[in-house]
């Protein structure tokens, strides 16, 4: 009878050790989360204003040289300061993954006034084919750049 109780105590101490381990881990994660929350201020995050809108039209793929030309029109009420354009080369993709044009990290600046449009020609040679294009308008709010919701369009003839 004594041996049965001793073996149960060993099993009980293992369970207590796991409970303590999980409790300490959860406590530390809550502590770190609250500490890091002090370093961010969600009230200062700039938001994209209502009335920002772009449209993609007249895209044309030249498959022999792997080049795409497309027209982006600012159909909103604000100046578009920059664009972030991403593409994908898989058929079932739902968002752009590979950068086609990122004006924020490059020296190229694109500004589109309301009602105006711009035509861009870009090579997609390294991706071999394109199935989707994602265009994200970027506005300048003082010194901060505000990234707005992207438009996503499936492409039919860029393979």
Residues 113, 147: Cα–Cα separation, whole Å:
17
- In the block, residue with structure tokens 């994200």: 136
Residue 150's pLDDT band (cuts 50, 70, 90): confident
Q: Give the tens place of pLDDT for each residue, 1-44.
A: 455 555 555 667 888 899 999 999 999 999 999 998 888 776 66
User: For residues 27 and 20, is the Cβ–Cβ distance under 8 A?
Assistant: no
Residue 156's pLDDT band (cuts 50, 70, 90): confident
Task: Please check the confidence at residue 123 and state whether its pLDDT lies above 90.
Answer: no
One DSSP character per residue, 91-152 reads TT--S--EEEEETTTSS----B-TT-EEEEEEE-GGGS-EEEEEEEEEEEETTEEEE-PPEE
Across the range 109-117, mean pLDDT stands at: 86
| Global pTM value | 0.65
Q: What angle do CA 32, 33, 36 make, to 5 degrees?
A: 80
Structure tokens at 35: 């500490």
Chain-centroid distance, C-alpha 152: 12
């Amino acid at each position: 009878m004594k041996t049965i109780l001793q073996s149960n105590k060993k099993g009980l101490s293992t369970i207590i050790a796991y409970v303590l381990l999980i409790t300490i881990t959860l406590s530390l994660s809550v502590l770190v989360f609250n500490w890091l929350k002090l370093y961010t201020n969600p009230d200062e995050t700039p938001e994209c204003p209502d009335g920002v809108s772009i449209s993609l039209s007249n895209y044309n793929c030249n498959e022999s040289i792997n080049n795409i030309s497309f027209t982006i029109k600012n159909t909103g009420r604000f100046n578009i300061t920059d664009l972030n354009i991403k593409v994908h080369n898989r058929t079932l993709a739902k968002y752009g993954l590979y950068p086609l044009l990122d004006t924020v990290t490059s020296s190229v600046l694109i500004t589109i006034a309301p009602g105006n449009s711009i035509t861009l020609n870009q090579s997609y040679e390294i991706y071999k084919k394109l199935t989707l294009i994602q265009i994200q308008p970027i506005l300048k709010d003082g010194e901060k750049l505000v990234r707005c919701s992207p438009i996503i369009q499936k492409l039919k003839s860029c393979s």
